[in-house]
Amino acid sequence: MEDLLCQPEWRIIDQSAVGLHFQALQSFGTDDTLCASVGAGEAPATARTWVHHNTIVLGIQDTKLPYLQEGIQFLNTQGFQSIVRNSGGLAVVLDEGVLNITLIFPEAEKGIDINRGYIAMWVLIQNMFADFKQQIEAKEIVGSYCPGSYDLSIDGKKFAGISQRRLKKGVAVQIYLCVNGSGRERAALIKQFYELGVQTEQTKIAYPEIVPAVMASLSELFAVKLTISDVMLRLLNQLKISSNYLSAGQFTEYELALFPGYYQRIIDRNEQIASM
């Protein structure tokens, strides 16, 4: 197993159920808070899980779309709110069938190479679903939304994307897992968002040309009915294997003091974009 996963302790912050009742903006403020806390040695390595109601999370590049507001208005008519995360990448879909996992590591003196963070998450997901015969690959899936070198796929169909954020000597590796529901329908939603956001304009940024058929959920790919709870159990079992101790936790007092500042930063960014 990738050695980054082998930690003396894993603190688990499970918001996979309660996350439906707060906004994704808070999640990104939470991850920044945990990154700073773990990086400062104020908390052990932490695994946080979260699920949000219909939300499209835009990347900074998406805010450069020439017809961004038209795209956002379309998403609203489909019952989705939009937020902008505090990192790069492009639009992704969150809903009740998508589990987000964030692994927060303390950065060693020599630092954690960016590929090691990606590989650690890839290995974790492979181990979580090792009882299925299908091979989970890590490579860019052209035609997917938010494509990247560490898209996770089975038979050429993407079900997950991985990103990283580094802050205050902490490294947060984040993944969204399409557990159930239709990957094709999620991709079709983002396809129409980009078509409305770009229209016939020439853009400096190469926005993806979405091909809905290249995306699927794990339930579709494994031909079984997986729930968020099923995947949570698999995650906890794997972290237990790689650690001497699992602890369930929430914010410490140190983190409670940090959170308002990080949360306000992402609120400010979204307000600036909304006023454009």
Q: What angle do CA 197, 201, 206 make, to 5 degrees?
A: 75
State the CATH number of the domain containing residue 51.
3.30.930.10
- Statement: residue 78 has pLDDT above 60: yes
Return the pLDDT at 125. Answer: 98
Q: Of how many residues is the chain composed?
A: 276
Residues annotated as catalytic are 146
Task: Quote the mean pLDDT of the chain.
Answer: 93
How far apart are alpha carbons 210 and 38 in whole angstroms? Answer: 37
- The predicted model scores a pTM of 0.94
Return the pLDDT at 239. Answer: 95
Which amino acid, one-letter code, is at 168?
K
Return the pLDDT at 275. Answer: 65
User: Tell me: the pLDDT tens digits for 3-49?
Assistant: 889 999 999 999 998 877 788 899 999 999 999 999 999 999 999 99
Strands 98-106 vs 81-84: parallel, antiparallel or unpaired: unpaired
User: Tell me: the pLDDT tens digits for 124-180?
Assistant: 999 999 999 999 999 999 999 999 999 999 999 999 999 998 888 899 999 999 999
Cα–Cα distances (Å) from 145 to 68, 74, 105, 207, 262, in that order, read 16, 17, 27, 9, 27
Q: How many domains, the chain?
A: 1
- Statement: residue 87 has pLDDT above 80: no
Yes or no: say if 105 and 10 are a contact pair by the CB < 8 Å rule: no
How far apart are alpha carbons 234 and 227 in whole angstroms? Answer: 11
Q: Which residues contact 54 (CB under 8 A, 6 or more apart)?
A: 78, 79, 80, 81, 94, 95
Structural domain harbouring 246: 3-274
- Statement: residue 1 has pLDDT above 70: no
Yes or no: say if 74 and 193 are a contact pair by the CB < 8 Å rule: yes
Tokens 């903006």 belong to residue: 25
If DSSP codes are grouped into helix, strand and coil, which group holds residue 55?
A: strand
User: Tell me: the pLDDT tens digits for 98-111?
Assistant: 999 999 999 876 67
